[in-house]
Each structure stands twice: as C-alpha cells, then as structure tokens.
Structure 1
C-alpha cells in the first residue's frame, strides 16, 4: 500500500510539468480545429455543394472527432484523479466511446454499428444520412466543449445582466449571418430583413418583414426554430447545461447570472432549476408536437408525414416559447387552419405554459414539490405562484369575455357559439405574449385593438419566455390601487405583506 502511494505521488509529480506544457497548446489547437469544422458545416448547409466538397467536409468532421478522442485520452492521462474525471465527464466519455466503436467497426469490419441498428429498426436509407449523423456527433461534442469554455466567462469583468444582453447580441448577429446564406432562402434576403428576422426570432416577438412560409427554405425555417428555442431559454442556459456535464462547479458568478435570468430565490437552486427547465421545455414541446400532429384539420394539405411532423414541431416550439412564428402564409388564419379548433386549443395551452414562467411550472409540477405538499398538508403553492396563476386566469377570462362582446356581431358574425368562444379564448391567450392569429387582425374594431394593446403591455409572467411588464407587476399595481382606495397602509395578498420595494 505504501509502495502504491509512492508510485502515485511520483506519477503526479512527473505529469505536473508535462500538464502545464500540454494544456495551453491543446486549447489553441482545439479552437482552431473546432472553428474549421464548424465553418465546414456552415458551408455544407449554407452553400450549394459538389460531391468533392461533400467528401472534403466529411473528412474535416471526422478528423475533428478523432482529435476530440485523442484530446480526451490526453486529459485522462494527465489528470491527477482519472476515475473522478471519468465520473464527472461521463456523458462526453459515452459519446466519444460511441464514436470510437462506430469508427473501428467501419474501418476494421467494414460496417457501421449504428447503421445496422437503424436498418434493423426499419430505416432503409441510413447511408444517405451518414454525413448528418457525423455532424450531429460533432455538434454534441462541440456543445460540451462550449459549455466548458463558457464557465471561463466569469473571468470577464461583466455583470450578469450585461452578459445576458451580450449573449443575445451574439445570438442575433450569428442568426442574421446564417439566414443570409444562399441555401436558407428561396430567392436571397437583404441584410436588414435577415437582421430583423433573427432579432424577432431570438427575442420571440413573431414580427417579420418577409413571409416565413414562402421566403425561407426548410433549412431556413429550421434555423428560425433553433433561434426561437435558444432565444426563449437564452443560449447561456444551454451553455450552463452542457457545462454541468463536465463539472458540478460552474462558479458563483455564473450561477448568479442564471439566477437573475430565471428569478430563482437562491444561487444554490440554479443547477437544479436549469435541469428542470430544460426537461420541462423539451417534454412539453415534444408532447405538444405529438398532439398538434394528430389535431390538424384533415383538409390541410401537407407534402407528406415528414412535412406534417415538422409543421407540428415548429408550431409547438413557437407556441411554448411565445414566439408567434407560423409556417402558414396567413398564420393560423390560413384557410382550413382557421377551422382546426383542437389545434388552436393545444397551441393556446402551450402558450400559457410557456408564459406562466419556469419557476411556476416547477412549483406546480415538480415531483418533489407535489410529494412535499402531500406529506405536509399545510404546505401550499408559493405566494408568487398563486399571484401568477390568478392574475393569468383573470386576464384570460377578461380578455375572452371582452373580445366576445365587442366582436360578436362584427368579425365573428356567422360563426357558431362554440367557434366564437374558441376564437375569443385563443385571441385572449395569444395577444398577451405570443402573436398568433386565427382571424384577420387588420379587420378588428378600434376598441378591441386598444384593449389588446393593454394586454400586450401586461404580457407574461416573470422567468417565462414572454415579455411585457409581467403579470406580477400588474397584480401588485392592481392591489396597490385597491389598498389606496380602502385607505390601507400596506398591500396584503394571501396573508402576506408585499413590500413597497417590490
């Protein structure tokens, strides 16, 4: 045992100097190779390709993956605690192991394990998508590397709010540049239109100077969906998520940044909240995709199953992130789509779930919270959650009733009672935070337009994907007015006193 300890100490001493000499050059090489591979993928998807360019890009991606494998092995060798390092980077190790096994099986046995698996599952055209799967490998590893690199942002002397703003500037600029690539649009796009579309998608506003349905190719639409997703949750959240696969310690300043963005109560909550947020968002969007897929009106014409599935996914992501982008020329007011009321209802629910805030979702649906409330009967929903739920319900009901009363014999004349209620409810939901429409907004009367402006001003709830002054602010202003009228010196809600500093 003593001999083993001495050998271990000698080993650590021997790699100390080597470690310092290797780490920095390895980082530089990593940046260079990752940049070249990333630019190659951008070229692959953004420009017309020949067979020769396809092969060159394929070789670049494979070479970058080989480098990541070698780099990981070097890091294990130079680590003082290899076993601990493996445990902390298990996800990265699993992906790299899959790459190694798949590569060795191809070069030694002349067949791909993944290809055989997919063929057995019934996917007969897997070979045609080898390049895509290779790029997916790269993006997963690149995301992990970016997550680890993002933790170094704490060394910058920038406060969390400024860093969040900077991340949006980077995301918008990158999105605008990618949308200008030839393969993203059907007939090209100006820099101003590209910048506007990227900004609208990242900031989930839903405004557009060009038709999303006809102006963009499938690649362009897919990119807009990605920008909506990254903008809705903020790309720094994704960077933190991947960073946690590498290390459980992401830094207090970095956790403070996420705390500010998602309105967490404590810094210690951030990692747990982040995992829950990503789980909730992905689960809700996938479930929404499935429900929308089976709810489309049968008269709506799709090119095939894949096209219908993509439309369902796009509208699910757009709805949950309160973006308001649609792949139909007239939005949800398109012929036949405007009569798909079950689809409208599902999209409305997605908008509400995305608009009440992730911390509220966690308080309501977290298994830990549910278990705690069942075991401790006195334990209830947090006051903030109650305020958000009741203010949201009040605004939804008020919006539905007022829209129905004002537009009953106007734009909704000729509809059945059910259709009028459904349309009123949907417009009440989407007006505050999303921007979808099932009717011609330009044909609405002035009174309802003014009321809709008020709803848009209030917006969604704190820590959500929506904007506005927030429902909690509206609630506090409302309660403050009531308290002032009654002559009360304090604002009280649910047996809790609301501070005047709120």
Structure 2
C-alpha cells in the first residue's frame, strides 16, 4: 500500500490529537500535577487528558480535589488546544514551517475551519487566535466581576476558556450548581458556550455584517449572509428555545412543591438547554432530573453544535439537512429544500452517512457498556442503568461531558470504551471514514443494479 495514502491531510488530526492526549496523560501522572495525598492511575490520567483534549468534560476523579493548580494549568492547556479545532494543529505546523501547502491540504484545512476552500491561512490563524484570546479574557473579567470571591483571576480564566471551548471542566466539585441563581455568571457562561458552538466562520461573518449595518438593517443583512451561516444561526436559536421549553416542562411537575426559588426555573432550563448540546456545565444535579428531561437532553447532545466550532455531535447543519430530507419525502418531493435552495446530492449523502455511522457508534458503545457495566445482572436489579449508559455514551460521543452519575463508577473496560468514544466524537466519524476511503484504491468498475423490495 502506498505510504502517501496512509499519511494524508486527513490523518494528521488523528496523529496530533493522539500525541497531545498521551503527552497530557504523562504530565498529569507527575506528582506536581496532583494534589497532596492524591494518587491517579495512568488510565484515569489518560481519561482526563482525552476528555480535556476532546473538550468533553467527563471526569472519573474530582478535578477540584485530585489535581493541583499545576494540574489545572495542564488541563486548561489541553482543552484550549483541543478547542481550537480539528485541523488547527496541521494549519499551525504548515504555517510555522513555511512549507508550501498543497491544494489538497489547503482544501482540507479550509473546509474544516472556514467552510471555504479559498482563504489566507496565516491571516485566518492570527484572526482566530486573536479573537479567541479577546473573548476568553473578556469572559474571565466578567466572571470575576460577578463573583469575585469564588472566581479569582485563575479560576475565572479557567472557566472562561472551558466555556468558550465547550469543555465543561470546572475547578468546583459541584460544577456550577452553587451559581444556579447567579444571573451574571449564568449569562456569561451561556454566552461563551454559544459563541464557541457557532463556529469561527459564522462568528466572523456576523461581526463583519454587524459592522457594515445599522440597527434597522440587521434583519435585512442577516438574509444577505451565506446559507451556511443562516442555517447555523436559525437551527441553534430554535434548538436553544425548544430545548429550554421542553426541559422546563419536563422538570416542572417534579419540583412543583419545592420551597423557595424553583431549581427548574426558566434560567436553569435555558442554561441546561445551551450547555447540554456541547458544553457539559450543569447548574443542577443531572442524576436528580426526570427521565423525560434526560431523553430530551440525549437528543440535544446527539445533535451538538456547528461545523468548524469547538462543539461535537452530528452538528446543526446535518440535523437541518436531515430534517429537510424527511420533509421532502413526506411531501413526495425529489429535492430537500432549505430556504431558497435545495440541498445538493453530495451534502445529503454525507448527512445520511454521518447519521448512519453515528447510530452505529452509539449503538455499539451502548451495547459494550451494557455488557461491561451490568455484568450479566438481570433486568429487575438494574432499573434505570440502561438510560444512564445511553446518556453517558451520547454525552461522550457528542463531547458534551454531562453524566447521570455513571462516569466515576465505570469499569476499566468501560473507561476505555468512553475514551475511544470521546476521541471519535471530537474528530468526527466522517474524518475516520475519509481516511479509510483515502487509503483504499477506487474501483474502476461498477456492479449491475437490481431493484429491492423496501418496507
């Protein structure tokens, strides 16, 4: 097999992410990164490094008490690197080495970062890094302003980067439950999550459009944006609104008689609607939520954020294409229409392929965890565990980081399964499929076709 087929632009992110994870695990094993008296196994360090680099947020040990300030710095560095994007490592190396980027490399980098094959690599990297720095420092300053006692300068910066990178890591043992009623902290974290989940290309286009438009022209300017940006903004908006409404309804009956301020108020529902699609922060105990709410959250986690962002999942654009395809088939149309245009065949095939692979991965991982975590126990003794496992699997695949309490109780094999899930979920099944397709020789023949009875 030709080595050039194995070493391709599509395989570079896999190699860089794997190397970063292994380096992070080695650093977290160092006594300087661990709190006095704490002891972390290599598997737990590898789990934490994978979760941080893949901006997931699932933890098998308490980040606040097990790791020292040095360990927190290492974890923060890992999710900052992981949050910059799938192809950013490759782009930085191309740019710093000043090598001539081939057309294939440039197209691969462009489609991952900008949704546009034609762009200036160096200029984009500088803008992206500068924008990231400004947003994260601004978020840290606001968190410190709204809660100066809990958010000292380092803690504020840690949570700001974690929120913008959609990582969900926290230096508080209860995550953000203690800030459930703090409007300022909630708004800052939610804003950072949304910005990180939209994608750099969408954010830059919104900024350019806003700078050229007055307040009255904003609505008209929105319709003048690219179709990709319009779809991302619209789908993200409706997922947030519908998700908040469903979570509010799902929790309202459970705590209708709770004294004092309701934990399931609209702010809490809105926060979890935004966070559960990608970020993994929580202001309520996830294990204490209703099964209805958990099922809603599984759906939101599976969809995830937008292409070219720090988020995971099958992505908002994929969801919109699949929705348009379903509507078209229901109405008997040949084309799936979004707005003023129909979706091209290649995009539709990619969306269907991604959905198929996502279902296969989630289903296979769920089956594997059912085998490793239930240990052959009868159904009557494991009530509710299947939902916990499904929630864990989708959370890992969507790089969300929320858990119903299963993570810390995973077996050794179960932890390994979740590590692999986070890795695949961050890079995306399509990337692995692209690598396999690039390695294979394309056949120069076609098979005869035959009709099949369906349904």
TM over 0.5: yes
Out of 187, 190, 198, the position equivalent to 1:356 is 198
Kindly indicate whether the alpha-carbon contact (under 8 Å) linking 1:241 and 1:275 is maintained by their aligned counterparts in 2. no
Give, in angstroms, the shift of residue 260 of structure 1: 4.0
Q: Give the 3 Å change call, closer, same or farther, for CA 405–265 of structure 1 in structure 2.
A: same
Aligned match for 1:431, one of 267, 276, 279? 276
Cα drift, residue 501 of structure 1? 2.1
Question: Is 2:347 the partner of 1:496?
Answer: no
Q: Shift of residue 235 of structure 1?
A: 8.2
Which runs of no fewer than 5 residues in structure 1 stay unpaired? 1-153
Higher-RCO chain (CA-CA 8 Å, sequence separation at least 6)? 2
Query: How far off its partner does 1:237 sit?
Result: 2.3
Of 315, 321, 324, 1:470 maps to 315
Q: Distance in 2 between matches of 1:493 and 1:415?
A: 45
| Counterpart for residue 391 of structure 1 | 235
In the alignment, does 2:301 pair up with 1:456?
yes
SS in 1 for 2:11: helix
1:481 is matched with 326
- Structure 2: runs of 5 or more not aligned: 348-455
Structure 1 residues 414 and 276, CA, compared in 2 at 3 Å: closer, same or farther?
Answer: farther
2:265 to 417, 420, 423: 420
Q: 1:201 to 1:192 in 2, by over 3 A?
A: same
Size of the aligned set, in residue pairs, is 339
The answer on 1:340 being equivalent to 2:185 is: no
- Quick check: which has more Rg, 1 or 2? 1
* 1:238–1:371 distance in 2 versus 1, CA, 3 Å: farther
> Quick one: distance in 2 between partners of 1:279 and 1:238?
16
CA separation of 1:377 and 1:290: change in aligned 2, threshold 3 A: closer
Shift of 1:362: 1.5
Q: Please give the alpha-carbon distance, in whole angstroms, between the structure 1 residues aligned to 2:90 and 2:346.
A: 33
**Native 8 Å contact 1:372 1:379 kept in 2:** no
Q: List aligned pairs for 1:28-427, cutoff 5 A.
A: 158-186=7-35, 187-234=38-85, 237=88, 240-241=91-92, 244=95, 247=98, 249-296=100-147, 301-302=149-150, 308-334=152-178, 337-366=179-208, 370-371=211-212, 380-411=224-255, 413-414=258-259, 416=261, 420-427=265-272
CA distance in 2, matches of 1:180, 1:197: 11
1:10 maps to none
Deviations 1:87-143 (Å, cap 9, x if unpaired)?
Answer: xxxxxxxxxxxxxxxxxxxxxxxxxxxxxxxxxxxxxxxxxxxxxxxxxxxxxxxxx
Aligned-partner SS, 1:294: helix
Aligned to 1:24: none
Deviation at 1:409? 3.4
Q: Give the match's secondary structure for 1:331.
A: coil
What CA distance in whole angstroms lies between the structure 2 residues aligned with 1:156 and 1:481? 36
Q: Which moved more, 1:415-424 or 1:354-363?
A: 415-424
Task: Give CA deviations for 1:52-78 in whole Å, capped at 9, x if unaligned.
Answer: xxxxxxxxxxxxxxxxxxxxxxxxxxx
Mark the CA change 1:441 to 1:411 in structure 2 (over 3 Å): closer, same or farther.
farther
Q: Residues 377 and 228 (structure 1 numbering): CA distance in 2 closer, same or farther, change over 3 Å? A: closer
Q: Structure 1 pair 404/372, CA: closer, same or farther in 2 (3 Å)?
A: closer
Higher-helix-fraction structure: 1
Whole-angstrom CA distance in 1 between matches of 2:100 and 2:223? 31
CA RMSD of aligned residues (A): 2.9
Assess, with a 3 A threshold, how the Cα gap between structure 1 residues 205 and 401 changes in structure 2: closer, same or farther.
same
Q: 1:459 to 1:478 in 2, by over 3 A?
A: same
Tell me the distance in 2 between the aligned counterparts of 1:277 and 1:465: 12
Instruction: Tell me, in whole angstroms, the C-alpha distance in 1 between the residues paired with 2:47 and 2:193.
Output: 23
